[in-house]
Amino acid sequence: METAVKTVWAIDPTHSEVQFKVKHLVISTVTGLFHKFDGKIETEGDDFDGAKASFEAEIDSISTNNKDRDAHLKSGDFFDAANHPKLTFESTSFTKKSEDEYELKGIMTIRGNAKEITLKAEYGGTVVDPYGNTKAGFEISGKINRKEFGLTWSATTEAGGLVVSDDVRLALNVQFAKQG
C-alpha cells in the first residue's frame, strides 16, 4: 500500500499579513498587525483536506500605528510580552467544506491561556510563480474573545461604554511556499 508523500508549505512572510481588529469606544475599529510571524501547513500530497497547520507570532512585533497603544498592548495589561513573547496556534483539524472553503480548528495560546477556536479558511488557489516556486494562498478569518485568553484589561467611558471590545476579529492573508 502506497502512502501519500508529506508536503510542507511554509508561510512566505513577504506576501502575507496577520491582522486583528477590535472595536474602540464601540464607535470605531482599531486595526493592528504582527510584523514577525511564522507558520506552516503539512499536507498529504497537494490536498489541503486533513492538513496540519501551525502558526506563531512575536508579540513584540505588534503594531497599531500608535507607539503608546503598542506599548500598552505589550504590557502586563494585555499580552505581557516579557513573560509570553509569542502567541501560537496548532490545528486539530483542517476540513474541506467546499471547493474553496475550509474549516480550521485548533488550539490558540495567548499569554499562557490555551483554548480551542474555529476559523474559516478560504482557499485562493495554487500557482507556480515566475521563479518556479509553487505557492498556495488562504484568507483566514475568525473571532475570539480576548478575555478568554487573559487579556482582561478594561476601562469604561463616562457614559459606561467599554473602551475596548471583548471581541477581536482575526484576518490573515497568507501565502505558503511549497518546500522541497
pLDDT tens, position by position, 105-135:
999 999 999 999 999 999 999 999 899 999 9
Q: What is the mean pLDDT of the chain?
A: 87
Domains of the chain: 6-178 (2.40.128.110)
**DSSP label at 150?**
T
Question: Is the sign of the CA dihedral 17, 39, 46, 131 positive or negative?
Answer: positive
Percent of the chain with pLDDT over 90: 62
Q: Which helix or strand (DSSP H or E) is residue 67 part of?
A: helix 67-74
Can you give the pTM of this predicted structure? Answer: 0.87
How many CA atoms does the CB half-sphere of 28 hold within 13 Å? 2
Could you tell me if 119 and 140 are in contact, meaning their C-beta atoms sit under 8 angstroms apart?
A: yes
Strands 47-58 and 28-34: unpaired
* Mean pLDDT confidence for 152-161: 54
User: What percent helix, strand, coil does the chain show, rounded to 5?
Assistant: 10, 60, 30
How many C-beta neighbours within 10 Å does residue 12 have?
A: 16
